[in-house]
Structure 1
């Protein structure tokens, strides 16, 4: 058989860890011809498409050769790996209908685990919840993917309820968790961690502030209280780890005025024991910390499985319900009723050993093997029914007529 041409299409480099090990394996495998393509993006609050220089700089820093805003048609890929489904953030030439006409889309989720259920109508939480959020498997990128890899058997079952079925969906576990745990262990074994003079608390706020979407974020309601707490506890180093969308969403959704946010950030940066770290990997953030405070979502599960101790969960009581895996993550956390509790919890955090073990069993059925299973599935798909490299058929966008999640009423409109 000829080499399998694979393109990794990336603008969400903040979640490259979802693809990194698969890319590493394929790049060293003579059966594959691998190309990485960095592209512009438009996130919440952005006026236009841009940012590819940051994506490119990220790949340069990791020694990964790549193209910038390349013409995928000219590359003739057999498979196009993506880790991000929301098509509104892609430039038009990289949206799923365009990709499916060029090659087979392979979707590996950018998040570690599907932790949140979804209101039945997507708008009014009081109407009831689906156990698995529809946005996790019914967007256009999901519909047109030739191969999908999921971290949860419940999500695979959800795909099975759709007209297309789930023969193309593979339950492999979480590539992100595999990568996170491996990196944390490598950091610990390397001896590179500096001796900390202060107790280090990582504060990781989420970007969602409305019942219309997730509603986990409490930054706007607690940020001044956390600032005052940090000022009153100089023996604690507080590292703010903002979600990549946090600051843009706060302003774009009019949760905070830009001037008020800028003022808060200036005061935060002025304290000797506070900082902002948007650049380090999650593993490095974790390895340097004694505790984690978060309002959700992914770190609620990632921290206990990587560190073996519970996250401190400051909960928005109006957040969307947890999925079955989310309930396990919630049980593995320690709830914080108010910022004033932090001092006592840092001195003595309750154990959640049994709950963390249950979460790990459910979330990592093939611990350390997810990327290898992805590679094997791509090889099998490319071999085709005859085993000679005929490959699976391309998905015909015209044949998938169900209205995708993001185009339903009440969703954010596509803007070109």
Structure 2
């Protein structure tokens, strides 16, 4: 039997008591720490609320300053207008407006190139391409494509424009310095990159991401192609189309004129015979979260096989500018290597081609057919009164009233085999039964007359009304 001295027994009893008391001490410490965390969280919430309040106050001060700056009188001087250009593929929407302002005595237009980031892209860029294309077209411009976009904004503010046109309603497409809130020191105006909204875009979410976007809510004037388009915005926008004007769209006349003027086909001609000329225009909305029109990932191999086995046909790929980045983004539909392999095979064929970065009107004029899964090309190709073949994905969001009217001029098919069969019938001599419907659609889109002059008149009258 182990004998412990009194001193050791006392120490053992004390140790036992200490051990038994440890859970309670842990509980006490835990309670104290919890109380400390609660106090710390309360302090954090307090400071977060104060910081939020400070940001809101700064935002309000900025907006008041912007409102004052955006309503500076213009009397006695030219109306200074800046066109921010990041989407060179949509230059045709504003090109005639810019050119007409250059020729007016009361306007001073400036084109400024900026960077962009389309869906699927990780960083901002592409301004050098925009710059190069504008140079090729002889369009004088300044460059605001600095890595630090705020330096570009400083220059823009030094220009002190009365009006700013931006090409996209979505802030994420452009660097932070060119987001809506940063541009509100001027009157914001918008001519849509597409002639009209063909879709029931309110189906995307609680708020219509187009007609009720923050950009639309903030614009001084939005220039709309058709009356149903105005009604659509009125129904879906918090401002109820209070800032929307029915002017027609400049792109309608420009595409037809420029197409005839610069007709071209990017595939070398066969000296012995003229091959059938087809434009393949796939959209970027591949997933189920956006418009749900894109089918490239489902049929690109089939398209390649068609081109390989149809030497009597030329097929020119005109991809939506966001398609390839969406297609190969992390967790996307195919890998970069798979896309590169496809494009290499495509480019190696003698009867295929590709076009990008705008300037497509001439190719449309020179072609025979459009094969597309959407969206705006289904309308724009009708300007040339040639067959439009719509590869229709069954789950796409619904067409708007205007969209349903436009779609009456296209042939809706479920897949490539049906598209091939339709082209074969037309090549055999069958007339396009939708040709007159296309003419009616173009006449409808042109009903407002000269859209450019309508927009310029609206700007003059809007500024004059403010200063009356």
TM-score higher than 0.5 here? yes
- One of 414, 431, 456 as aligned partner of 1:375: 456
Which of 167, 191, 204 aligns to 1:83? It is: 167
- Residue 134 of structure 1 aligns to a residue whose secondary structure is coil
Inter-partner Cα distance in structure 2 for 1:99 and 1:363: 31
What residue in structure 2 maps to residue 335 of structure 1? 412
Displacement of 1:40 after TM fit? 1.2
Distance 2:280 2:115 in 1: 29
Which residue is 1:255 aligned to?
Answer: 333
Q: Is the 8 A contact 1:122 1:212 kept in 2?
A: no
CA deviations over 1:73-129 (Å, ceiling 9, x no partner) = 1111100011211101211111111101x2101111111221111354628xxxxxx
1:179 aligns with 2:223: no
Distance 1:227 1:37, change over 3 A: same
Please, which of 131, 135, 143 is the counterpart of residue 209 of structure 2? 135
Q: What is the rounded CA distance, in whole Å, between the counterparts of 1:315 and 1:121 in structure 2?
A: 19
The residue aligned with 1:128 is: none
How far did 1:327 drift?
1.2
- Corresponding position of 1:365: 447
Distance 1:159 1:119, change over 3 A: closer
Q: SS state of the match for residue 105, structure 1?
A: strand
Tell me the distance in 1 between the aligned counterparts of 2:448 and 2:189. 20
Residue matched to 1:122: 205
SS at match of 1:284: helix
Structure number, greater radius of gyration? 2
Q: 1:155 to 1:328 in 2, by over 3 A?
A: closer
1:246 aligns with 2:323: yes
Residues 200-249 of structure 1: CA deviation (Å, up to 9, x unaligned) = 11111111112211111111111111111111111101111111111111
1:107, 1:362 → 2: CA distance?
A: 21
Unaligned runs of 5+ in 2: 1-75, 145-151, 427-431
What is the deviation of 1:361? 3.9
Contact 1:114 1:152 in 2 (8 A): no
**TM-score (normalised: structure 2):** 0.75
**Residue of structure 2 aligned with 1:228, choices 305, 318, 333:** 305
CA distance in 2, matches of 1:331, 1:233: 29
What's the offset of the Cα at 1:23? 0.2
Displacement of 1:375: 0.8
Q: Which residue of 1 aligns with 2:107?
A: 32
Which of 188, 212, 220 is 1:146 aligned to?
220
SS at match of 2:131: helix
SS in 1 for 2:209: helix
Asked if 1 retains the 8 angstrom alpha-carbon contact of 2:212 and 2:238, the reply is: no
Residue 168 (1) aligns with residue 243 (2): yes
Instruction: Kindly report which structure 2 residues correspond to 1:90-129, keeping only aligned pairs within 5 A, or say none.
Output: 90-100=174-184, 102-118=185-201, 120=203, 122=205
> Which residue matches 1:23?
98
SS in 1 for 2:380: helix
How far apart are 1:284 and its partner, in Å?
1.0
Deviation of 1:177 after TM superposition, in Å, equals: 1.5
1:150/1:174 contact within 8 Å kept: yes
For the aligned residue pairs, the C-alpha RMSD in angstroms reads: 2.2
Between the aligned partners of 2:391 and 2:412, the Cα distance in structure 1 is 6
Cα pair 1:40 1:91 within 8 Å, conserved? yes
Residues 143, 176 of structure 1: alpha-carbon distance in 2 compared, 3 angstrom cutoff: same
1:292 is matched with 370
Paired residues of 2:203 and 2:397 also in contact (CA < 8 A): no
- CA deviations 1:42-94 (Å, max 9, x no partner) are 22232222221111112211112211114211111100011211101211111
Matched residue pairs, number? 372
Q: Does the aligned pair in 2 maintain the 1:114–1:151 contact within 8 Å?
A: no
Write the distance in 2 (CA, Å) between the matches of 1:38 and 1:106: 17
Per-residue deviation, residues 381-404 of structure 1 (Å, max 9, x unmatched): 2223455xxxxxxxxxxxxxxxxx
Deviation of the 1:343 alpha carbon? 4.1
Report 1 or 2 for greater relative contact order, CA contacts < 8 Å, sequence distance ≥ 6. Answer: 1
Aligned to 1:413: none
Which structure has the highest helix share of the two? 2
For structure 1, the 5+ residue unaligned runs are 124-132, 388-416
Equivalent residues in 2 for 1:293-308, closer than 5 Å:
293-304=371-382, 306-308=383-385
The 1:187/1:55 distance shift into structure 2, 3 A limit, reads: closer
Aligned position for 1:322:
399
Q: Decide whether the 8 Å contact of 2:217 with 2:238 is kept in 1.
A: no
